[in-house]
């Protein structure tokens, strides 16, 4: 075998990176499914496992088995829902926003995308999504952000996460950065965050299919960039249900070589 020089290895790695980037940012977005219609994807009554209404300012903890899904409905169109999660069998494996963006070459979540853990596995697949308007970068509200916004302390996502974690025997050390659904944050050309309120509609929903056994915490607090607060906020509905089994050509499992590998590594946990 001919030994490759360091320069040859660098060049081969650079070429591979360019190919992955082209696939990830040119081919993959074209292959993603269309957003779900607001009246699309009804859940069959017999598939429903449980329902919960989470009042504004509050949180809920949901356990999902692999293959189950959680529908989150922003009934009023005024809410945002911030989510963290842990692998049930090892809570040191947790939702990871950075790897979610890096592996998919995009900070924009939409139908067909996935949310990864820090261990190279898929936690959640976005099997239905009406808006594609979510936030991976800014995170939820905190005691400081609500004090600055309202002039007084208010219920907030950081304290909700801490309370939920504590009830599971976890603590501040276990709270990773969160994903916020129905939080249309983008960047302008200068890198400043922009809130696109027009991308929120009453009844927007997302279906998250669990790809491992998971514990999720969902906090229904106004997003810190939402200029509509403190008026913002309505109850959100959570529907835990049995998702249709993923087919071999499931859109979430096949969007890119990276995602195919992430699912291979995930499936090995259950092989």
Partner 1 sequence: MSNQPKPDPSDAVYSQEVSAERPWSRILKRGQTLRIVDIEGQQAVDALLYCAEDPAERYSAQDTLRVQGSAYVELGTKLVSNKGRIMARITADTCGRHDTSAGCCSCESNAVRFGEPTKYQHACRENFILELSKYGMAKRDIVANLNFFMNVPIDPSGNFTVVDGISAGGNHVDITAEMDVIFVISNCPQVNNPCNGFNPTPVRVLVWDQPAV
Which of 45, 173, 231, 268 contacts partner 1 by CB under 8 A? 173
Residues touching partner 1, count (CB under 8 A): 62
Is residue 192 within 8 A of residue 214, CB to CB? The reply is no
Residue written as token pair 């659904």: 181
For the segment 218-257, give every residue that binds partner 1 (CB under 8 A).
224-225
Is residue 196 within 8 A of residue 107, CB to CB? The reply is no
Interaction between residue 102 and partner 1 (CB under 8 A): yes
Which 3-state string (H, E, C) describes 36-49? CCCCCCCCCHHHEE
User: How far does CA 30 lie from the centroid of its chain?
Assistant: 20
The pairing of beta strand 236-242 with beta strand 114-116: unpaired
Give the H/E segment covering residue 128.
strand 122-129
Interaction between residue 201 and partner 1 (CB under 8 A): no
Which of 76, 186, 237, 254 contacts partner 1 by CB under 8 A? 186
**Which of 55, 171 has the CB closer to partner 1?**
171
Please choose, from the candidates 130, 121, 112, the residue with its C-alpha nearest in 3D space to the C-alpha of residue 270.
121
Interaction between residue 150 and partner 1 (CB under 8 A): no
Interaction between residue 6 and partner 1 (CB under 8 A): yes
Stretch that binds partner 1, among 3-11, 53-61, 211-219, 234-242 (CB under 8 A): 3-11
Is residue 53 within 8 A of residue 220, CB to CB? The reply is no
Interaction between residue 177 and partner 1 (CB under 8 A): yes
Stretch that binds partner 1, among 8-16, 40-48, 71-79, 239-247 (CB under 8 A): 8-16
Residue 167 Cβ, how far from partner 1 at the closest point, in Å? 17
Residue 10, phi then psi, degrees to nearest 5: -60, -45
For the segment 11-50, give every residue that binds partner 1 (CB under 8 A).
11, 13-14, 16-17, 20-21, 25
Is residue 82 within 8 A of residue 217, CB to CB? The reply is no
Stretch that binds partner 1, among 10-18, 35-43, 66-74, 236-244 (CB under 8 A): 10-18
Is residue 111 within 8 A of residue 33, CB to CB? The reply is yes
Interaction between residue 197 and partner 1 (CB under 8 A): no
Q: Which residues contact 95 (CB under 8 A, 6 or more apart)?
A: 83, 84, 85, 86, 115, 116, 117, 123, 124, 176, 178, 179
Binding footprint of partner 1 on the chain (CB under 8 A): 6, 9-11, 13-14, 16-17, 20-21, 25, 91-92, 96-99, 101-108, 116, 118-121, 136-140, 142-145, 158, 171-178, 186-193, 224-225, 258, 261-262, 265
């Amino acid at each position: 075998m001919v030994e490759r020089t360091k320069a040859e290895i660098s060049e081969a790695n650079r070429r591979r990176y360019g190919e992955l980037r082209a696939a990830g940012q040119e081919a993959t977005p074209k292959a993603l499914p269309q957003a779900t219609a607001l009246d699309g994807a009804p859940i069959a009554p017999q598939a429903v496992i449980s329902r919960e209404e989470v009042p504004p300012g509050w949180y809920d903890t949901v356990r999902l088995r692999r293959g189950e899904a959680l529908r989150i409905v922003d009934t009023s169109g005024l809410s945002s829902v911030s989510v963290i999660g842990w692998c049930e069998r090892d809570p040191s494996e947790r939702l990871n926003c950075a790897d979610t963006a890096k592996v998919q070459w995009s900070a924009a979540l939409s139908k067909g995308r996935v949310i990864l853990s820090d261990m190279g596995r898929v936690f959640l697949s976005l099997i239905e999504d009406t808006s594609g308007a979510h936030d991976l970068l800014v995170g939820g509200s905190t005691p400081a952000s609500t004090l600055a916004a309202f002039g007084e302390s208010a219920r907030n996502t950081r304290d909700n996460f801490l309370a939920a974690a504590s009830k599971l025997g976890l603590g501040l050390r276990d709270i990773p950065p969160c994903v916020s659904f129905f939080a249309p944050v983008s960047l302008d050309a200068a890198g400043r965050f922009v809130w696109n309120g027009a991308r929120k509609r009453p009844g927007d929903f997302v279906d998250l299919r669990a790809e491992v056994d998971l514990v999720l915490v969902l906090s229904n607090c106004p997003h810190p960039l939402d200029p509509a607060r403190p008026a913002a906020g309505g109850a959100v509905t959570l529907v835990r249900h049995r998702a249709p089994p993923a087919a071999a050509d499931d859109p979430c499992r096949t969007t890119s070589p990276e995602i195919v590998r992430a699912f291979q590594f995930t499936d090995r946990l259950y092989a």
